[in-house]
Structure 1
């Protein structure tokens, strides 16, 4: 009924794949074929499956194998991305999911992971650990601010009195210094600067860096994506001064206003956060509704579902030690680990 195909990096059908993504109501920014280039650039083998009928693409399922001694061996849709899974009609999805299970078995990975945004009617095991936060963008900065919960609105107003300003940057330098310091302070390995450069090159028309400054010093910075009227602040953080200056709050508010007024966006996708985490609480304070993400798994050689969560007790010592690393050393060592934590 359907023909199974695999998209390559030089495939003539890459544009057909992306045309399908843009035409689908379910597809996300992370289904675009450009992620294959990014994932491949860090050394992971991609299996971008697509189904055709009468030579027309009717469904897609991006997959990549992430294998390491420390963190296991998995076939994931999609590494480094919060959303994934099969896109198409229900029967096409089941065809692609079955194909993914067969591929996972052939590769003898520990498990298959599908990062669905919506619940699927199949027999795969579902685990909900994360929630997505998003909100419509009002028509003016005043209305955008009014839509934020009262307590968080007061924080934003405080930030507006801190003599902060923002720039839209074409250089990665300030973003990388700010972001890498932020994730180091959280005990998380940072990606390489080359990784972010690859993202900006691959999605030159869909990505943008906004940096908050005080006295021309970068305090907070965020790399965002634009897709189908949505803005997705994806990689963001601030240095130690950011908390006192409320510059992260200033940053996200200014991004909302910029996205609405200058990019004609009507939706702010605040991304996923682990349920009941600090980031989860922070986003709830903005007044956004949490939507649970039903990720699904198929065990192949593993006996139980993986637990790579930072809350896993076996990672606590590592996190505490990582927070103490010199920034330069964390920037050197981090990329050697982060590529396996997608």
Structure 2
């Protein structure tokens, strides 16, 4: 008979071993993510696992997200695009999902949010605002380039012709300088610098920063996660000249080549909002969108807490944020960004 337990040790090798061996797992199921939320905002982790005869059969990472002036939630998982239960069978999935609902009610949160790729609970509300983009990487560089649509290959060549260069490392200061400016220019509050300090400390060599430069001047950057045979470019941004010289196109192609050399055979372009510019950009690379079934148990009877950039309110806020001086955006952004977990 399965017993449900709450993880108390972070990171936990036993938990991570189950994650690494499960075919549906992602890097966001690793137990280290509990420390990210706890170290940054003091949010309590509720990492649940089902155990049978001393063997883990299922895991569900959850974090109690607390805000002073907003609805509280139990989320799988903050700062992550994927989450939810990974289990040996559907019975174990149901057991942990029921346990999550019980904990959410005990905590008195407004809702339970599970960021999964498939709809697993018919009693929960499902939102399909986001899609993910994944594709296999081939061993041969030329074969990978040929797999890219013709117009997108032309953009990669444009970047190469502009004299762009790339480097790989862990230069957090330069990354954050570009990232903060890029977020302001997109109209989005930036995460605090401490988030990236924590990520680099916790994930170490499984995390890498790519920098694109032209004539010694930085143009774009991306922070990527490596998990098993996958690479996931996760936090990316560029300066105003990036699009002029096709820096993003060149950057992602160079990341693909570099990832293949490191042994990666899957490229996860991450999630994007349907109909957004990022959505179209990823489709231009030949990636097919796959809907993400984020599910919610709306305990307080309220609305699904999605931030839809297509709504007039958010378009207005985004436009106003773009006009804000960078020094103010960098000061205020980290105070607002906990709402953008």
TM-score bucket of the superposed structures, by smaller chain: over 0.9
Q: 2:236: which partner in 1?
A: 236
Q: CA deviation at 1:331?
A: 1.8
* TM score, norm. by length of structure 2: 0.95
Is the CA contact 1:71–1:341 (under 8 Å) kept in the aligned structure 2? no
RMSD: 1.5
Task: State the alpha-carbon separation in 2 of the partners of residues 303 and 193 from structure 1.
Answer: 33
Q: What residue in structure 2 maps to residue 134 of structure 1?
A: 134
**d(CA) in 2 for partners of 1:313, 1:298:** 26
More displaced stretch, 271-280 vs 325-334: 325-334
Mapping of residues 67-86 of structure 1, within 5 Å: 67-69=66-68, 71-86=70-85
- The CA deviation string for residues 50-75 of structure 1, in whole angstroms up to 9 with x for no partner, is 11112221111001122325542211
Q: Whole-Å Cα distance in 1 between the matches of residues 86 and 169 of structure 2?
A: 34
**Is 2:10–2:35's contact at 8 Å kept on the other side of the alignment?**
no
Please give the alpha-carbon distance, in whole angstroms, between the structure 2 residues aligned to 1:302 and 1:130: 22
How much has 1:122 moved relative to structure 2? Answer: 4.1
Is the contact made by 1:66 and 1:340 (CA closer than 8 Å) also made in structure 2? Answer: no
Q: Structure 2, unaligned stretches of length 5 or more?
A: none
Residue in structure 1 matched with residue 182 of structure 2 by the alignment: 182
Aligned counterparts of 2:15 and 2:166: Cα–Cα separation in 1? 36
Paired position in structure 1 for 2:258: 258
Matched position secondary structure for 2:243:
helix
Query: What is the CA deviation profile of residues 73-113 of structure 1, one whole-angstrom value per residue up to 9, with x for unaligned ones?
Result: 21110011000001112111100000001111111211111
- Equivalent residue for 1:202? 202
TM-score of the pair, normalised by structure 1: 0.95
1:121: how far off?
Answer: 5.2
Which residue is 2:213 aligned to?
Answer: 213
1:154-208 CA distance string (max 9 Å, x none): 1111111011101112221111111111111111111111110110110012100
Residue 223, structure 1, aligned to residue 223, structure 2: yes
1:315 matched to 2:276? The reply is no
Contact kept in structure 1, 2:159 and 2:250, CA below 8 Å: yes
Partner of 2:25: 27
Shift of residue 118, structure 1, vs aligned partner: 2.5
1:186-242: CA deviation from partner (whole Å, max 9, x where unpaired): 111111111101101100121000100112211100000011101100001110000
Please name the residue that 2:120 is paired with: 120
Structure 1 ranges of 4+ moved more than 4 A: none
Q: Distance in 1 between matches of 2:226 and 2:175?
A: 18
5+ long unaligned stretches in structure 1: none
2:190 aligned counterpart, secondary structure? coil
Structure 1 distance, partners of 2:92, 2:204, is 31
Distance in 2 (CA, whole Å) between partners of 1:112 and 1:160 is 46
Q: How many residues align?
A: 339
SS, match of residue 123 in structure 2: coil
Residue 311 of structure 1 and its aligned partner are, at CA, apart by 2.7
Please state if 1:42 is matched with 2:44. no
Matches within 5 A, 1:274-285: 274-285=273-284
Checking the alignment, whether the CA contact within 8 Å between 1:26 and 1:87 is kept in structure 2 is: yes
